[in-house]
Structure 1
Amino acid sequence: MAAQPVIAPKEILTDADTDRIIEMAWEDRTPFEAIYYQFGLTEDRVKELMKKTLKFSSYTLWRTRVENCHTKHAKKRNGSITRFKCDRQRAISSNKISKR
């Protein structure tokens, strides 16, 4: 599999960016690679952001959920899943990938 292109992380995340990253991190269908392509944050940086932003109990709940979710990592995903959002979900605001 090809290596990910290097994308520079945004220097300053706005409140809207932070909210969108947290929302994407909680979504089961959104892989970390989608967050990386939109915001330049690696999985480790997303984990740091979540730990810093969420209450500790919410963070541990999220981490447990991510560890048991096979759709959060593109390499573990079923090959039939080719989108980042549910087909029943309408356009997501601020989602640059869906507006290509």
Structure 2
Amino acid sequence: MLDRAVEEGSQPDQVRHAVAFHREIVAASGNGVLLSVWESLGIEVWTHLSIRLFQMKPHEHAAEHEPIVAAFRRGDPDVGRLVHDHVLAYAT
């Protein structure tokens, strides 16, 4: 879905799908406190800013999620490390 939003050039859809991707991972943790904190962070605003103001290349942004999705699908035990690295890449 994120790839389609990128192809169509729809920034609102890019934000919506990127946020949904990350929310699903947080929700899957089963940690209600983590989900509550995550939802309080205004992720939609930060995602919009990162796509728009930091001039992220949409195709690169979408491609960053592919290895994580593939790892989840194959049940890779190192998926946590991929998610960890993905999140921290935005903190620098």
TM-score, length of structure 1 as denominator length: 0.32
Higher relative contact order (CA 8 A, sep 6+): 1
TM-score relative to the length of structure 2: 0.34
